[in-house]
Amino acid sequence: MSNSMKPWREVIVPHPDVLNGTFQQSEFAADLTAVRTGKATPEYGDAKAFYERTFITEGMGRLRC
């Protein structure tokens, strides 16, 4: 029995914008002022959308509470 890990492409499906090559790299860093003033894109301004798209690390999990 092999203990090797599967390639990530066999484990998850990337979001359509990543698959299509249409993602904007600048969107991977939240503009906190835009979030605070309600002017952020839905990926950051809508909490439900944010948590659906984001892998929550241990550190981020501590910040949520």
Q: What pLDDT score was predicted for residue 2?
A: 63
The length of the chain is 65
Q: Is residue 12 part of a domain?
A: yes
Tokens of 30: 């939240």
Taking only the tens place, the pLDDT of each residue in 15-50 is 888 889 888 777 778 888 999 999 998 888 998 988
Q: Is residue 1 part of a domain?
A: no
Q: What pLDDT score was predicted for residue 37?
A: 96
Q: Is residue 29 part of a domain?
A: yes
Q: What pLDDT score was predicted for residue 34?
A: 93
Rounded to two decimals, what is the model's pTM? Answer: 0.52
* Domain residue limits at 53: 8-64
Q: Is residue 3 part of a domain?
A: no
Q: Quote the number of domains for the chain.
A: 1
Q: Is residue 23 part of a domain?
A: yes
Tokens of 13: 């499906």
Kindly report the number of other CB atoms within 10 A of residue 44's CB atom: 19
